[in-house]
Amino acid sequence: MSNPDVQSQIPSATSLPSEATISDVATPTPPSSVANMPKNTPQLPTKPAGGQQKGTPQLPTKPADGQQEGTPPPPPRQPKNTPPPPPNQSHGRKPGGAPLAGMANTVQPVSKTRSESPPLPASMESSPISISSMQAPIGSAMEIPPDLNKLSYSDIGADGNLTVNGAPGAVPGRYTVFVQNLQTGASVKTTSNSDGSFDASVPAVKGSTMVISYGDSDAADWMHGSPALQNIVELQKPDSQLDIPFSAAAPDSIGTGHWRAEGVQNGWSFKHNDFIHYEIEFSYTSPNISQHVDIDQIQNRRLYPSLNLSRINDSEGNALQATFVPALLTPTGIPIFSRGGYEHNAQEFSSSINKISISGNTLTIEMEFSQQVPEWLPSGHYVGRINWQPRFIWEEPGQVINPPSGGDEGLLLRTATCQALLPVFRIGEPSAPRLPWMLLANTLNNGSRGGIAKEDQGIFSLGNKVSFGVDSLIVPKDDTTTGSPITYRLEPFLPTIGHHMGGPNIPVPPLVTFLLPSGELRVSVTAPDGSVKNLGSGPFRSGRAKISGNPMEIFGSTSVQAFYELTTFDQTFEHQFTDYGHHVVKMEGWVQDATGITYSGGGSYDVYVAKPLDLDMGTFLNTPFEVGDILSPVVHTRPGVPADVTIDFKLFTNSPSDPVISKTIVGTANRYGYFHPGVDSERINISIAGEYVVDVTASYVDVDGVMWRGGVKGSSVVETPNTKLVAHGKRGIASVNVEPGSTPQWFFMKNIDPPGVNGESEGGAVPQVFYPYNTGDVQWAADGTSSGIFPILTLHDPDKITDLHTQQRNQGKDITGEMEIGFPEMTSMRLPAVQYPELIDTWAYYYTSVQRPGVTVRSFVGTGEVQRAYWQFGDPYNLQPGNGGEGDLPTDVKLQYGGVVYRNSSSSTNEYAIYGSMAAMIRKGTTLSQRVFPPFQGAAGGPSGGPLLTLLGEEIDIFFTPIGVMPGSVLEVGDSFSFSGAMWPTLPSLTEITVTDPNGQIVHSLGRANKIGYFYNPDDDFVVSEPGTYTVKVKVTHDGITSAGLVHEPYPTGGILGTADGTYKFYVVPRSANSYLKLSLQKTGAKLVSGKPLVISANIPTGLADVSTHYTVNLTGTVLESGTSSSDAGSFIYSYDLVGLNRLFDNLDSVPGDTVVITLAVTGNDSSGKRTSYASQILLQGDDVLALAES
pLDDT at residue 73, rounded to an integer: 36
Q: What is the pLDDT of residue 66?
A: 35
- Chain segment 568-613, per-residue pLDDT in tens: 999 999 999 999 999 999 999 999 998 889 999 999 999 999 999 9
Confirm if 547 and 4 have CB atoms less than 8 A apart. Answer: yes
Given a cut of 70, is residue 11 above it in pLDDT?
no
Regarding beta strands 258-265 and 275-285, do their DSSP bridges make them parallel or antiparallel, or are they unpaired?
A: antiparallel
d(CA 494, CA 545) in angstroms, rounded, equals: 10
Same fold, 943-1071 and 1072-1186: yes
What is the domain class of 943-1071 according to CATH? mainly beta
pLDDT band at 363 (very low <50, low <70, confident <90, very high): confident
Is CATH 2.60.40.1930 correct for 1072-1186?
yes
- Would you call the peptide bond into 4 cis, given omega within 30 degrees of 0 as the criterion? no
* Residues 250, 413 contacting (CB under 8 angstroms): yes
> What is the reported pLDDT for 295?
79
pLDDT value, residue 240: 56
Is the pLDDT higher at 249 or at 382?
A: 382
- How far is Cα 179 from Cα 188, in angstroms, rounded to an integer? 5
Residue 666 CB: number of other CB atoms within 10 A?
11
Which pLDDT does position 322 carry in this prediction?
63
Span 196-201, average pLDDT: 96
pLDDT band for position 392 (50/70/90)? low
Sheet holding 269-270, edge to edge: 269-270, 420-427, 380-387, 306-313
Percent of the chain with pLDDT over 90: 57
The confidence score (pLDDT) of residue 756 equals 64
Whether residue 916 contacts residue 897, with contact meaning beta carbons closer than 8 Å, is answered with yes
Parse the chain into domains and list their residue ranges.
21-38+116-235+434-609, 244-374+400-427, 614-718, 726-933, 943-1071, 1072-1186
Q: Quick check: 5 pLDDT over 80?
A: no
More confident residue, 153 or 767: 153
Whole-angstrom CA distances from 1075 to 1099, 1101, 1162 are 12, 9, 10
Cα separation, 363 vs 129, in Å, equals 47
The predicted structure's pLDDT at residue 390: 53
At 374 the pLDDT is 92
Which helix (DSSP H) or strand (DSSP E) does residue 959 occupy?
strand 959-962
Question: For residue 882, what pLDDT is reported?
Answer: 85
pLDDT at 550 (0 to 100)? 74
Comparison of pLDDT for 369 and 1083, the residue scoring more: 369
Cβ atoms of residues 269 and 84 within 8 Å: yes
- Among 924, 922, 920, 923, residue whose Cα is nearest residue 935: 920
Given a cut of 80, whether residue 881 has pLDDT beyond it is yes
Please give the Cα distance from 849 to 714 (Å, whole number). 9
71-80, 627-636, 968-977, range with the lowest pLDDT: 71-80
79-83, 429-433, 474-478, 885-889: segment of lowest average pLDDT: 79-83
Q: Is the pLDDT of residue 998 over 60?
A: yes
Helices (H) and strands (E) in the chain, counts: 6, 84
State residue 323's pLDDT score: 60
**Given this model, what pLDDT does residue 809 score?**
73
pLDDT of residue 324: 64
- The yes-or-no verdict on residue 967 having pLDDT over 90 is yes
Residue 251 has pLDDT above 70, yes or no: yes
Burial 42-73 (b: 16+ CB within 10 A, else e): eebebeebeeebeeeeebeeeeeeeebeebee
Pick the closest to residue 143 from 17, 29, 15 (CA basis). 29
Q: What is the average per-residue pLDDT within 2-17?
A: 34
pLDDT greater than 90 at residue 664: yes
Q: Mean pLDDT over all residues of the chain?
A: 82
Q: List the beta strands (DSSP E) in 18-108.
A: 21-23
pLDDT at position 237 is: 64
Q: What is the pLDDT of residue 1039?
A: 97
Name, in order, each residue with C-beta under 8 angstroms of 545's C-beta and a sequence gap of 6 or more. Answer: 211, 227, 228, 230, 498, 500, 507, 562, 563, 564, 565
Helix (H, G, I), strand (E, B) or coil at 749: helix
Mean pLDDT of 1171-1184: 95
Q: What is d(CA 1143, CA 188) in angstroms, rounded to the nearest whole number?
A: 48
pLDDT band for position 368 (cuts 50, 70, 90): very high
Residues 798-828: tens digit of each pLDDT: 999 998 888 867 766 766 678 888 887 665 5
What pLDDT digit, counting tens, does each position of 472-513 carry?
Answer: 999 999 998 888 999 999 999 999 898 877 665 677 788 889
pLDDT at 793 over 50: yes
Of the pLDDT bands very low, low, confident and very high (cuts 50, 70, 90), residue 396 is very low
DSSP string, 622-638: T--EETT-EE---EEEE
Q: Taking the CA atoms of the chain, what radius of gyration do you get in angstroms? A: 31
For 1023-1069, the pLDDT digits (tens) are: 999 999 999 999 999 999 999 999 999 999 999 999 999 999 999 99
218: number of Cβ within 10 Å: 10
- The pLDDT of 215-237, averaged and rounded, is 81
CATH code, residues 614-718: 2.60.40
CB of 146 within 8 A of CB of 226?
Answer: yes
Task: Give the lowest-confidence range in 269-273, 634-638, 872-876.
Answer: 872-876
- Express each pLDDT in 22-77 by its tens digit: 444 443 333 332 333 333 333 333 333 333 333 333 333 333 333 333 333 333 33
Identify the band that residue 220 occupies on the pLDDT scale cut at 50, 70 and 90.
confident
Higher pLDDT, 516 or 397: 516
The pLDDT of residue 239: 57
Tens-digit pLDDT profile for residues 548-571: 767 777 777 777 778 899 999 999
Percent of the chain with pLDDT over 70: 80
Mean pLDDT is lowest, of 666-680, 882-896, 1134-1148, for 882-896
Is 80 exceeded by the pLDDT of residue 1004? yes
At residue 176, the pLDDT reads: 94
More confident residue, 1100 or 480: 1100
Residue 577 has what pLDDT? 98
| CA distance from start to end of the chain | 25
Mean per-residue pLDDT, 756-777: 74
The pLDDT value recorded for residue 341 is 54
Q: How confident is the model at residue 829 (pLDDT cuts 50, 70, 90)?
A: low
Kindly report, residue by residue over 530-542, the tens digit of the pLDDT: 999 999 999 999 9
Residue 9 scores a pLDDT above 60? no
Mean pLDDT of 276-288: 87
